[in-house]
Amino acid sequence: MSVVGEKLQPTIFELSRPGRGGGKIPHPPADALDRIPAAARRAAPPALPELSEPEVVRHYVNLSTLNYSVDTGFYPLGSCTMKYNPKLNEWAARLPGFAGLHPLAPDAAAQGTLQLLFELEAILAEVSGMAAVTLQPAAGAQGELTGILMVRAYHRSRGDLERTEVLVPDSSHGTNPATASMAGFRTVTIPSAPDGGVDVDAFRAALGPRTAAIMITNPSTLGLFEARVGELLEATHAAGALAYMDGANLNAVLGRFRPGQAGFDVMHFNTHKTFSTPHGGGGPGAGPVGVRDVLVPFLPGPRVVREPDGTFRLEREGERPSSIGRMRSFFGSTGVLVRAYAYLRAHGGTGLREVSDDAVLAANYIKARLAGAYEVPFERACKHEFVASAADIKRRTGVRTLDIAKRLIDKGYHPPTIYFPLTVEEGMLIEPTETESLETIDGFVAALLEIAREADTDPELVTSAPHEAPVRRLDETTAARQPNLRWRGMTGIERPCSS
């Protein structure tokens, strides 16, 4: 069976015909080549495809329509908060004053952008209950690294050099243990309790004079509010360690839970999730980090400073020697930060609270409607996302979560996150966000209920899905381990991907 359906067209190189081209571009002067020094000239023309302008346009526009996106449909990818991105944000980010600013422009020519960044830091500090915020990190993962490096600097500044461990729950995102390792710590994994929360007894047993920090995702990657978070934080501080909050799930608690006020010492935001920048294609993002007072001296530099006369400037080299230094070139992903600012200002405090309320309502509604057809391992009310499981369906029919995800594609929906967190057998992490209508959500629920019925009546239909997608099942292991992402001219030895 071919994995390639008829919607996939030949590559642009295969469409190429020698001598074909746009032809409407003014021809260069006759002596153009002579004006280029011989040493700078190519020996042979580049191996570019030759096509007419409409052929090129159609090729790429047709390819673009194969993409699934938030702008084309519902995208319930748990942990990622794939909400609709208001076009107002795009307008703001494209304003020439922001988009056209040179990254090396002197402060005097960059006052508008510096003011926006200064105000964005203050808004995020307000939202999180933290004392100060850095906007520099390029994504949540880099925010984690920034935060843990500040924790390291804090302990070192106190001469406390024995702290070599970071505690991380077993449901955490892979970036948490990766961050701990990159910062030179040993990761200690804490198991979950049956209710999905951190096992507090195991946590207390692991905590000690070697603990530098704990990293808690709240709400957790199971979509559950960490009910005993107060106890965890108290024990952490009593042991002399600091508490990091992975804020990727902040969309669930805006206006209702302020991590800094609750006692967390440091956290990151994923502006591209919570504050709506298009993401999913791998960036760019932004992962600002908020800190409590004790970590302020260690924030990366340069920070934006407001002078007594109201003007803004960047910190000068060496101005704050306690800083952990620079985490990213220039001032971070400024275009993403403009979008976050626009989103935050457009919503305001009450708007942000509504965002969370609606996201939580939508998740609980889907969870309630799926119960019965799918297992929901954690009964208590979820936050903005929840885990369903197809373990029972698999035992009964042989249909796995992966098959259900593929079958959803046939029904016009992007699949949810599957097999994450790793702690749930045949898990599906479903996150609807606040931006979907009841009709859209009902359509998604109907599709999942129909697939559960198909698993019983015609399992083959599900295990061989997708039937309607541009490609059928791919060998995902080979695709991940040996990605072949570039077209190369066939020399005769190589062969096109086997069909």
Q: How far apart are CA 243 and CA 374, in angstroms?
A: 35
Q: Of residues 367-406, which lie at the interface with ligand PLP (CB under 6 A)? A: none
Cβ 272 to ligand PLP, closest distance in Å? 6
b/e code 183-196 from CB counts within 10 Å (16+ = b): bebebbebebbeeb
Cβ 226 to ligand PLP, closest distance in Å? 13
Contact between 199 and ligand PLP by CB under 6 A: the answer reads no
Q: Record the tokens describing residue 173, joined without a space.
A: 């995102």
Contact between 248 and ligand PLP by CB under 6 A: the answer reads yes
Query: Residue 187 corresponds to which amino acid?
Result: T
Contact between 432 and ligand PLP by CB under 6 A: the answer reads no
Pick the piece of the chain touching ligand PLP (CB under 6 A) from 139-147, 183-191, 306-314, 358-366.
139-147
Query: Residue 109 corresponds to which amino acid?
Result: A
Q: What is the DSSP letter of 251?
A: G
Cβ 422 to ligand PLP, closest distance in Å? 13
**In the complex with ligand PLP, which residue's Cβ is closer, 248 or 360?**
248
Q: What is the DSSP letter of 411?
A: T
Residues 6 or more apart whose Cβ sits within 8 Å of residue 374? 388, 389, 390, 392, 393, 428, 448, 452
The three-class DSSP label of residue 313 is: strand
Contact between 276 and ligand PLP by CB under 6 A: the answer reads no
Contact between 334 and ligand PLP by CB under 6 A: the answer reads no
Q: Do residues 245 and 403 make contact, with C-beta atoms less than 8 angstroms apart?
A: no
Cβ 94 to ligand PLP, closest distance in Å? 23
Contact between 173 and ligand PLP by CB under 6 A: the answer reads yes
User: From the list 287, 288, 290, 300, which residue makes contact with ligand PLP (rule: CB under 6 A)?
Assistant: 287
User: From the list 82, 120, 125, 139, which residue makes contact with ligand PLP (rule: CB under 6 A)?
Assistant: 139
Pick the piece of the chain touching ligand PLP (CB under 6 A) from 136-144, 228-236, 427-435, 452-460.
136-144
User: From the list 76, 177, 285, 432, which residue makes contact with ligand PLP (rule: CB under 6 A)?
Assistant: 285
Cβ 274 to ligand PLP, closest distance in Å? 10
User: From the list 121, 165, 226, 246, which residue makes contact with ligand PLP (rule: CB under 6 A)?
Assistant: 246
User: From the list 51, 116, 133, 141, which residue makes contact with ligand PLP (rule: CB under 6 A)?
Assistant: 141
**In the complex with ligand PLP, which residue's Cβ is closer, 207 or 289?**
289
Contact between 407 and ligand PLP by CB under 6 A: the answer reads no
CA angle 63, 68, 71 (to 5 degrees): 110
Contact between 79 and ligand PLP by CB under 6 A: the answer reads yes
**Residue the block writes with tokens 């509504």:** 354
Pick the piece of the chain touching ligand PLP (CB under 6 A) from 59-67, 133-141, 300-308, 461-469.
133-141
Q: At what angle do helices 334-370 and 438-457 cross, to 10 degrees?
A: 50
Cβ 417 to ligand PLP, closest distance in Å? 9
Q: How far apart are CA 394 and CA 373, in angstroms?
A: 12
Q: Do residues 264 and 244 make contact, with C-beta atoms less than 8 angstroms apart?
A: yes
Q: What is the DSSP string of 6-66?
A: TTSPPPHHHH--TT-----SPPPPTTTGGGS-GGGS-SS--------HHHHHHHHHHHHTT
Q: How far apart are CA 45 and CA 87, in angstroms?
A: 42
Cβ 279 to ligand PLP, closest distance in Å? 8
Q: How far apart are CA 98 and CA 166, in angstroms?
A: 39
State the number of binding residues for ligand PLP (CB under 6 A): 13
Cβ 285 to ligand PLP, closest distance in Å? 5
Query: Residue 318 corresponds to which amino acid?
Result: G
Q: What is the DSSP letter of 381?
A: P
Pick the piece of the chain touching ligand PLP (CB under 6 A) from 6-14, 135-143, 323-331, 341-349.
135-143
Q: Record the tokens describing residue 323, joined without a space.
A: 């800083």
Residues 6 or more apart whose Cβ sits within 8 Å of residue 274? 81, 247, 250, 251, 254
Position of minimal CB gap to ligand PLP: 140
User: From the list 113, 134, 175, 356, which residue makes contact with ligand PLP (rule: CB under 6 A)?
Assistant: 175
User: From the list 217, 236, 397, 433, which residue makes contact with ligand PLP (rule: CB under 6 A)?
Assistant: 217
**In the complex with ligand PLP, which residue's Cβ is closer, 83 or 173?**
173
Integer-rounded Cα Rg, in Å, for the chain is 26
**In the complex with ligand PLP, which residue's Cβ is closer, 421 or 466?**
421
Q: How far apart are CA 100 and CA 248, in angstroms?
A: 30
Binding site for ligand PLP (CB under 6 A): 79, 139-141, 173, 175, 217, 221, 246, 248, 270, 285, 287
